[in-house]
Each structure stands twice: as C-alpha cells, then as structure tokens.
C-alpha cells in the first residue's frame, strides 16, 4: 500500500491521528527524528485511541535512513508551495507521501532533494499558510487509495 512519512513532526496529536489513519487505511507510517514529543505522550495515545497495535509505524533517525529503508520508491513532498495538485498525480502502491513539521513544513533542503519525485499541494484559499498536518495526510492518503479502487492491502 502507501507510506506516509512525517519529517520531524512536532505535535503529538497529529502523529496520533496519523497512527489511526495508517491503521484504518493499511498504510505504513514513517517518522523521521527528531520528534517534538515522546512517543509515550498521553496526547499521542489519546489521538491514536486503540489503533496503535493495528498500525505499522517505524521511527528513523534521519531522512537518509528513512528513504534508504523505503527504496526504491517515488517520494511526493507535500507543500503549500507545490508545483502539482495532489489530484493530478497517478499514485502507485509503495509511493511515499511526505509531509513536514508543524508549523514550518518541509525545509528547502528536503524539497530540493534529488530523491523527491514531485512537490505536491492541496488547493487552499489565498493568503492562508497551511492545513493541519493530519488532515492533509488524510486527504492525500484517501486520494491515493481511491485511485487504487480502495483495494485492500496485501
């Protein structure tokens, strides 16, 4: 299925919601350190409810290690400055949907990394900075999964 990658997430509640998203969609969740919270935080557990044991989650010490573990793959970097709309991408199983930290997003060195296949954006009203991280990941995952006919993982 698809892989969600959070680059240096800062808010436990968003990562908890992503754990739940991963569990209910059959996606993998990959977190790149440093994290802005402890994985045992109550907010993380509350947002993920009882889905922690049902989700596949891996924590990587850095982006290079994460992308090496996920290779070969296409990496779509979600950013408010993206060149392509998320609906214009033809997603394939195994694709990595990468998102940046709250509130800064992906840093320039990540967006410019040669392993990034495309910079992707969700449409928003002008003058607004960004959407919530977990909400953005949900929209992206469901579009990718929809394109696969909501096929079950496996």
> Which positions make up the binding site?
100, 122, 130
* Binding residue numbers for S-adenosyl-L-methionine: 100, 122, 130
Largest CA distance in the chain: 42
Residue 139: what are its φ and ψ, rounded to 5°? Answer: -60, -45
Query: Can you state the angle between helices 133-147 and 12-25, rounded to 10 degrees?
Result: 20
Instruction: Tell me the C-alpha distance between 74 and 104, whole Å.
Output: 23
């Amino acid at each position: 299925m698809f892989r969600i990658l959070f680059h240096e997430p800062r808010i436990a509640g968003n990562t908890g919601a992503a754990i739940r998203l991963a569990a209910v969609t059959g996606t993998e969740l990959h977190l790149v350190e440093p994290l802005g919270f402890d994985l045992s935080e109550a907010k993380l557990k509350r947002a993920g409810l009882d889905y922690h044991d049902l989700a596949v989650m891996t924590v990587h010490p850095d982006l290079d290690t994460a992308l090496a573990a996920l290779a070969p793959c296409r990496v779509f970097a979600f950013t408010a400055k993206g060149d392509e709309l998320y609906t214009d991408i033809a997603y394939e199983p195994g694709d990595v949907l990468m998102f940046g930290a709250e509130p800064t997003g992906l840093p320039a060195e990540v967006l410019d990394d040669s392993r990034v296949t495309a910079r992707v954006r969700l449409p928003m009203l002008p003058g607004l900075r960004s959407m919530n991280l977990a909400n953005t990941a949900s929209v992206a995952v469901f579009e990718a999964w929809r394109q696969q006919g909501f096929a079950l993982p496996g």
